């Protein structure tokens, strides 16, 4: 995991006359799972959107494989927290996944096989002809993830994708996502308010602070998560290193 897939080079973003992100620099390595935490309003989602090309930097730049990011790319898939709005209610599960293939102009005769493959990957084969309203929240989020996988992205940006789900569903999807990342070699940037989720999923955890200044820039800490994989919801969360990291990172969720 030595090659930088995405690089933030002194990235600064101002919105509405306010500095959301002060000059921020770091790399996301190919095949790495990076989690971003911090208090509300610290710029986590803005950072993610800048990396995806949805938000233009006020200063500095974002590089993907050494090239300046100037707008959205099919190589970058974005998973939103609000899965209900991300899916088209009048389309079936299969037809929602097909949106990614239609946008990429994949020939019609090739779509069915690719849709079937990604639905099998996320365990939704039996629900291909159902509509979003017929699915649970966790299943709807699986559809959104399947649609992103259909793009065959190099990088997945995930903005609190499990934040609205109950604890049991969230844990199941965390393990499912970890499996997909491991099997498909995905690179992930993952925003969350849940400290335990960040440590459980991440190779590294980046902590942002609210109200950055020259003395205290947006990026407050970069923490390596040296906990063996695959991880387990019970044993990993009782691991001494997990508990140590939780204590070390806890104060970054408060205002500084």
What pLDDT, in 10s, does the model give residues 60-75? 999 999 899 999 988 9
Question: What is the pLDDT, as a whole number, of residue 255?
Answer: 41
Tell me the fold of 1-72+187-256. Answer: Rossmann fold (3.40.50)
Task: Report angle CA 250, 218, 194 to the nearest 5 degrees.
Answer: 35
As given in the structure block, the two tokens for residue 135 are 């699915």
* Residue 213 CB-density burial (10 A; 0-12 exposed, 13-18 middle, 19+ buried): exposed
User: What residue ranges of the chain have pLDDT lower than 70?
Assistant: 1-2, 254-256
Rg (CA), the chain: 18
Query: For the whole model, what pTM was predicted?
Result: 0.91
Helix (H) or strand (E) holding 51: helix 44-52
């Amino acid at each position: 995991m030595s090659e930088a897939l995405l690089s933030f080079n002194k990235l600064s973003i101002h919105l509405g006359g306010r500095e959301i992100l002060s000059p921020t620099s770091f790399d996301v390595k190919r095949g790495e799972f990076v989690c971003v935490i911090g208090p509300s309003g610290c710029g986590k989602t803005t950072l993610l959107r800048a990396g995806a090309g949805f938000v233009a930097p006020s200063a500095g730049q974002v590089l993907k494989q050494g090239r300046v990011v100037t707008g959205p790319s099919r190589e970058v898939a974005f998973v939103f927290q609000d899965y209900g709005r991300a899916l088209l209610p009048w389309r079936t599960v299969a037809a929602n996944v097909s949106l990614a293939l239609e946008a990429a102009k994949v020939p019609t005769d090739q779509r069915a096989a690719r849709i079937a493959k990604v639905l099998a990957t996320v365990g939704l084969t039996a629900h291909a002809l159902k509509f979003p309203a017929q699915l649970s929240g966790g299943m709807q989020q699986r559809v959104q993830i399947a649609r992103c996988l259909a793009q065959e992205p190099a990088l997945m940006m995930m903005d609190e994708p499990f934040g609205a789900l109950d604890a049991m569903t969230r844990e199941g999807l965390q393990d499912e996502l970890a499996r997909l990342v491991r099997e498909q070699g995905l690179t992930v940037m993952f925003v969350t308010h849940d400290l335990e989720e960040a440590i459980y999923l991440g190779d590294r955890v980046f902590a942002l602070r609210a109200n950055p200044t020259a003395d205290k820039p947006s990026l407050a800490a970069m923490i390596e998560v040296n906990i063996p994989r695959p991880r387990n919801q019970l044993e990993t969360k009782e691991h001494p290193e997990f508990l140590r990291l939780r204590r070390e990172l806890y104060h970054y969720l408060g205002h500084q």
